[in-house]
Amino acid sequence: MRIIFGCRTILKDWQRLVLMDERTKGALQVLFALIVIAAVWYVSVDIEKLKELGYAGVFIISLLSSALIFIPAPGWAAVIAIGGVLNPYIVGVVAGIGSGLGEITGYSVGAGASNIVKKEMDGQFRKWKDWIRKNDFFAIFVLSAIPNPAFDVAGIAAGSLGIDWKRFLLACVIGRTMRYVLLAYLGTLALTYF
């Protein structure tokens, strides 16, 4: 009988955890993103050392620099520098994948914040949101491919709209890969001609 009572208690605790209200779930998503950002900020002082790791270093640098929200990081500079030494195509692909994965922090903040705060933000954010709502994959792809300091806003908007995270990630990785392949080849050209 004790075993049955213990199992019921565990089941009820599990149900409470899984069925938490949307505000709590949103707060946990934002907290997760903030913890990742703090960890990246702490580790970012050693980014120069990561260049020595080759392709793995490019992946880590791109992942960490994209995980920061509204804080510029030198991910693109490392791609140009390392693209001049290693195969630029592989550097671009590895950096694109790392950068796309890093952008999940902005998406998580948006998804979590939408569950906490239901009111709309300012007009500019609303315009971004409307465009992303209508053209989700294409919009994320374009905004991630071009050098765009406001991409964090797009990630937050995509998360707050509830766009499927796999769709967001795929569009982001493809766009970032295109950008970083071009930047890596720029590094190769710079090293060749200068």
Query: Measured between alpha carbons, how far is 27 from 80 in angstroms, rounded to an integer?
Result: 37
The overall average pLDDT reported for the chain is: 76
pLDDT at 138 over 90: yes
> Percentage of residues in the chain with pLDDT exceeding 90?
25
Structure tokens at 189: 């050209």
Greater model confidence, 61 or 123: 61
pLDDT for res 25: 60
Residue 121 three-state SS: coil
Helical (H) or strand (E) element with 140: helix 136-145
Query: Measured between alpha carbons, how far is 94 from 83 in angstroms, rounded to an integer?
Result: 11
pTM above 0.85, yes or no: no
pLDDT at 35 over 90: no
Q: What does the pLDDT average to over 61-78?
A: 78
